[in-house]
Every structure is written in C-alpha cells, then in structure tokens.
Structure 1
C-alpha cells in the first residue's frame, strides 16, 4: 500500500548494503541529521548508508534515534518493518540454523556477537542484556518470580516448596547479572588484542561444560500428587528419593 504522502525521510534495508535512508529533497537539515547518526551519502545510489559491517542491533538503534530526531523537528518518517528482523545466528557446518524472530533479542544479540572483534563492542552487547528495563537478565528474573507466585497460589505443600525453589533460582539469576556486569565493565576498558586474521566466532568451539548433577526430584514428585483438579487428594504419597551413591562428589559447575 502506498502512503498518502511522500515522507521527508524513508528508511529501508538492502540484503547486501544493509540499512539505508532516502530523502525527499536535498535540504541541509535532512543531510545533517543523517550524518550525525553516521549515515553517509552514496553518490552512485543517491541514498544514505550506514558504514559497512554495522551490527544489526546498532543499525536498529540508529534508525530509532534518527527517526525521533526527525519527528522532534516536525519532519515525517517512514521505515520498512523488515529493518527489525535480526540476522540468523551463524552456525558450524552440520548444525541446524536457529531461526530468529522479531522480539527475540537474546538470539539477535548472540548473532551480533559473531560479527564483533573489539572488546568495547562486546561490552556494548552485554550492556543491552543487563539493561534495567529491557535486558534479558531482568526479564528472566521477572519470569521466574511470576512462576514462583503461580506455584504458591496452588496452596499445596508441593506448590509452596516449588515456589520457594523458583525464588532461589531467581536469586541466582540476579547474582548472574551481577557477575555479567563485572565482566561488562572489564571488557569496556580492555585493550583490543584480537588479531585481524582470527577465525570467526562460529568456527571456534565453545569450552566443554562439566556435567551438572540433577536437582532432587522430591519436590517435583510431591507436586505431581498434590491435591488439584487433575490430581485428587487421595492419590498415594510421593515416594522418597532414593539415597544417592556415597562415591566421589560431582564436579562443581563452572560459569563460562
């Protein structure tokens, strides 16, 4: 559908050239705002383009910031919604490519990490994950807290126990956020030492994780037989957990 008027600025995306902008005329104000946000005019194409290699999330934030400035100046803006679509996450040969969808910010940021080489850029991505209002860590903590409330509303011993267990997990997520914040600060001041000929991140295998022992299944079993519309109260009690082997303790969990 064609708009009823021609906007002053229109943003779009090209599969090879990335995000670009077209202007209705050669007013200096339009040129000045676009250049302020790192767009550069291409004489051959007569459009404004971001620098080659600009990460996806950076391009989205740039379009949003430039659009706000245009609108604050009383100018009309149009933007192709496909600008919001994140690129697919690079994967090694033989591994199924993970499909990304709008709104899956963590997936988009993971894909963006594969394009970065400077520690300051990695720090910027981590900062987005830790954002107080939109970061993935805060959203995960909020989700787990909501799950805990749902369990506690069952008003059964198993539900209350699971609720407390989930609140403990939410606390660990908050601690994880603190650890990530420390790493983000270290990265922001770390000198760039990655060689230019270093292999892409997608080709570098991740460190092997230690096996993490399974948590007790007692609470899960109790909740399964607790009184509810699907589990009548006269079901037999949950069996106690089988004692664990007295062998060597499992390896502690490592954070990467």
Structure 2
C-alpha cells in the first residue's frame, strides 16, 4: 500500500511564469517565509511566484534557502527537479542551442573526492570537470569569452582593452584545462590504491599554494606571454630588451 505524501510547501516550475510555490493551507508562517524570500502571491492563480526577471542562480539559492527554513521548522517540502535546469545560452540564428543540464557543483565533487580510494576514480571526477560540453573548465572559458564580448559592445577604448584582457584570461583557463587533462590521464593509468590505514583526507593538510614545482612555474610563465587565440599575436607587446650601454670608440674623447 502506498501512502500519499502531502507536503506543506511545494516548489515547481510554471511554464510561463517561472519558479512557483504552493502551500497546503493559509498558515501565516508559510506566507511569511515565502515573502521574506521575495515570492509574491498571485490571487488569480492561488500560488506564489518569484519575479520573472529573477536570475537562475538567484532563484535556485532562494528555493534552497526557503526549503531549509521550512525544514528547520519541521515542515515537509517537495521540489520539482526541473528547478535545477539552467536556461539555455542564447545563440545566433542557425546555431544549435546547447542542451541544458543540471549545474555541476565543485563542492559536491570535492566531497566525493574524500571518499575515493582508487586513482582511476579520481580520474573519473576530473573527467567530469573537463567534459567538453558540460565541464566546469569549458563553462568558465565560455563565460569569460562572453564577458569579453560584452565589453566589446561598449565601443570604447577601455571596453576593448578589458575585452582583450578577458580573452587572455580565457586562454589561460584553456591552458589550465590542458594541464588538468594531462594529470587526469596520468591518474587513469596509475594502479595505486589508498591503503586501508591511511589518514582521512580531511585530516591531511593541504599543500601550500606557493609551493609550486619549477616546471609548473615555467609553464605559467610561458602562458603569461603566449598570445591569445582570439586575437593576433602581434597584439601582445614583446618585452623590451635592456639597452646596451654606449661605448666610446677608441681614440676619441668628448669635450664638455
């Protein structure tokens, strides 16, 4: 026999109006919490709605925060998983829209890392970060490139200069992805297994960030002077060589 579940609050996605919330009854506490989280009550629909211009990340955080407050008060909450689906990135006509998937949390992947024992499993987590279509690295690179394009629309010298700087940063992110891919490949072929008696990862101190291997420091230096693939190589100023001291030819003198 299946017991029916009647939550005190339910969050969902309205096809035209965005994130919505419905309550089981008219308890003032339910209304107060939702209004404190910027939900507005619609008399016509009998539900609460977030403002239509609420950004996706803000909406997800709002639902999460309200859910936590309800649950801390002993109330039951249900939420439609489609709330986690981000909106598609706008594309020009004729360009396929990239499929949207639930956001990937680096915090969640870091938590998973604490439970792994095999090198191959760590490589699988890195593979998720490096995924060409939905990985964190490619998403960050696309975000920075889009921010650079936004700066270009200012049509001002400062805007164009900042756009170039952002494209260089995107190039560095791509370089970082290449380095992570090399590490991921090395992990995937390693046969190492964490010993059963090893300390918990949370108890192992993280290495100091300034303790960088020379080869990595050299690679960073090369990346810093490398030209961005989004602009011509001659746009990057070359370092000026120090001017050699002028030598007085033999047998000559200067009169003052």
**TM-score range normalised by the length of the shorter chain:** 0.3 to 0.5
TM (norm. structure 1) is 0.47
TM (norm. structure 2) is 0.47
